[in-house]
Amino acid sequence: MEQFVSAVLAIVVAGGAAAAAVVWLLREWISDRLKSSIEDEYARKLEDFKHRLEVDFEDEVRRRALYEGLTCSLEQVFSDDPALDTKALSLSMNRLFGLLALYAPDDVYASVRNALADGAVYGESAMPVVYLALRKSLLGARTKLELEDLVAHQKWQPVPRSESSASS
């Protein structure tokens, strides 16, 4: 009987040890799977975030280049250059309106269209309206400037050099 009890006891101890080993292995396996799943999810979210940042940066670069092009074209429109080629200028402005339609926010496109194409603002007075719309698009709520704060289109003249500064 003693052999029977020790055999049963050995079986119970061995079964308990085996069960503990299985539970430990299952716990490790589940823990590894859970860690791997969390790492994969964070890696995916990080890649999505990096991609969105890259796209936003490219959009910002494209928008700034577009706005700079529009600014240069506006300066050409209001220049006194007698050699100004109307066909080339029209092509340039139409190209810029196309790019604005593709990339600029709605409020910027509407402001530029209203100021230039629809004739709501005439001549050189259109430039500050356009510049303010571009500025608000780029800086958002960070800009506190209003239309009256912007410098109107100026005809600049070189400052004549005085005799004393010319000789030095």
C-alpha pair distances (Å), 168 with each of 23, 84, 162, 164, 165? 92, 38, 10, 7, 5
Residue tagged 């308990």 (tokens): 16
User: What pLDDT was estimated at residue 80?
Assistant: 64
User: What pLDDT was estimated at residue 27?
Assistant: 94
The count of C-alpha atoms lying within 13 angstroms of the C-alpha of 2, restricted to the half-sphere facing its C-beta, is: 0
Using 70 as the pLDDT threshold, list the residues of the chain that sit under it: 77-84, 118-124, 153-157, 163-168
Six-digit token string for 96: 């810029």
User: What pLDDT was estimated at residue 159?
Assistant: 77
User: What pLDDT was estimated at residue 44?
Assistant: 96
Contact status, residue 152 vs residue 126, Cβ threshold 8 Å? no
* Three-state SS letters, 3-30: HHHHHHHHHHHHHHHHHHHHHHHHHHHH
Six-digit token string for 83: 């050699």
Number of H helices, E strands in the chain: 5, 0
Contacts of 163 (CB under 8 A, 6+ apart): none
User: What pLDDT was estimated at residue 121?
Assistant: 54
Domain ranges (residues) in the chain: 2-149
User: What pLDDT was estimated at residue 53?
Assistant: 95
User: What pLDDT was estimated at residue 135?
Assistant: 84
User: What pLDDT was estimated at residue 122?
Assistant: 55
